[in-house]
A = this chain, B = another copy of it.
Amino acid sequence: MKIPGEVVNRLTLYHFILEDLNEGDVYISSKKIAKFLEIDDSQVRKDLKYINTVGKRKLGYNAKELKKAIEEKLGFKKTRDVFIVGAGNLGSALAKYSTFKDYGMNIIAMFDTDPKKIGTIINGKEVFDITKVGHMVQKLNVDIAILTVPKEYAKGAANYLAGSGIKYIWNFTPCILDVPDNIKVWNENLIGSFLQFTNRDEVEDDKNDDGN
């Protein structure tokens, strides 16, 4: 059964809650999970059906089992190698963000155009010349790139990636990339998030809902 994107999003948040539970909390109820996220508990139960988990009457879900079931279903243990393109502030911050690894994301190298950055090591990841990205994609069999270059370099970097063999671009730039159809782009729209949550009075809240 395909899992809707919003459900994947919420399952990840449930996992954060489960990670944070005290050792003594053997069971957790859908009500408790729902309260943390200020959503309806019927939503939690509906989401958890996607991972074939059923709670026990009056007790709730076994926290350890639930955590494991989410991990298996969402593939946390299936490590994915990733490149970061753009070794500036944001790229470096993401390269240093240790939580990614816990969820299966393994950053193995970075790319930039700046001769001062090329050859440096950021949190154990070497920065390579962007012109080498195609070669490295083939050599290391990587299919995911995180794009964190400044806005004005987004198109140039996307051109390098277009012919590189990369299949997924996680785009943190405020630019819409024009890449071949076989490359999937995920726009991490921070501006959109900001506008959504700060204009809440005017904006319908569907982040934690099931749709419109």
Contacts and interface: CB of A to CB of B under 8 A. Distances in A.
Interface of A: 2-6, 8-13, 16-17, 19-20, 36-38, 74-76, 80, 88-90, 92-94, 96-97, 99-100, 103-105, 144, 151, 168, 170, 174-176, 178, 181, 184-200, 202-207, 210-212
Contacts of A170: 193-194, 197
A5 B88 CA distance: 30
A87 to B, nearest CB: 12
A175 B20 contact: yes
B96 A191 contact: no
A176 B36 contact: yes
Copies of this chain present in the complex amount to 2
Contacts of A194: 100, 103, 105, 170
B93 A5 contact: no
Nearest to A208: B187
Nearest to A185: B38
Contacts of A38: 181, 185
A105 to B, nearest CB: 6
The 9 A-B pairs at the shortest CB distance, nearest first, are namely: A211-B211, A186-B197, A89-B93, A12-B192, A9-B192, A93-B93, A2-B204, A211-B212, A90-B93
Q: Which residue of A37, A185, A211 has the most chain B CB atoms within 10 A of its CB atom?
A: A211
Contacts of A203: 2-5, 8
